Amino acid sequence: MHRAAWRDLVAPGVASLIALAILLSLGAWQLERKAWKEDLIARIVRQTRAEPVAPPAVESWDPARDEFRHVQVSGRFLNDQETLVHGLAAGETPGRALQGYYVLTPLRRDDGSIVLINRGFVPTELKAQGDRRDGLIEGPTRVTGILRASEARGLFVPEPDPSRGEWFNRDVSGIAAARGLSAVAPYLIEADAVPSQTTWPRGGQLRVDLPNNHLQYAFTWFGLAACLIGVFSVFAWRRLHDSPTAGIA
């Protein structure tokens, strides 16, 4: 009976070992992801705080390498071609957000090429350009900001309606096509904040706040592995120590 009890543990033991290996592998993978995410955050913070440089040429643009670089460009804003993208911004009261729009304005550079500039946020009541004329920039100007890739539309983000000027994500190619713009760079620039600015739109809205919950996930997988060991140990102990005469009248 004792030998038979050991044989009865073979199948559940093998299954438990396979499950344990999977759980431990997932935990180790999350630790690797944690290290990768920490390196990524450090790189982004370092790049955003560096001295501004010229943006990359269109043909050499590599989002994995160039996104979040601090850049500087010169040119003239095409204010009559601005596009408003629905969005939220941090309010003055902690925990409260303002509803409004991000103002994406094409900047024509000296060589004729165009780059979209996210000049910043305006609240809903200042949607009309005529209500914020003091924030328009006419003539040659220089913009510093953070290089960003075109924003993909998420699963729960509504589709844009270019005919009505309704945009919900910063889609560079879509906005360029809707505006009939050519020679547009495949990226956009999130304008830096202007110190003591009182006009709208207001830049500096980019927040480097990437979630890094991989340590918690690792603890979860390792915790499940520990529970599996505990459950199987109790199961095996009971199977091996059951009385061979149990249940006999």
Spatial distance between the Cα atoms of 238 and 224, rounded to a whole number of angstroms: 21
Spatial distance between the Cα atoms of 63 and 148, rounded to a whole number of angstroms: 8
Spatial distance between the Cα atoms of 220 and 123, rounded to a whole number of angstroms: 42
Q: Please tell me the predicted confidence (pLDDT) of residue 249.
A: 42
Q: Please tell me the predicted confidence (pLDDT) of residue 94.
A: 65
Residues of the chain falling short of pLDDT 50: 243, 245-249
- Going through the chain in order, the beta strands assigned E by DSSP cover 70-77, 83-90, 97-108, 114-123, 140-149, 184-191
Residue 27, SS3?
helix
Give the length of the chain.
249
The dihedral sign for the CA sequence 142, 146, 151, 155: negative
- pTM of the model as a whole: 0.76
Backbone angles phi, psi at 29, to 5 degrees: -65, -40
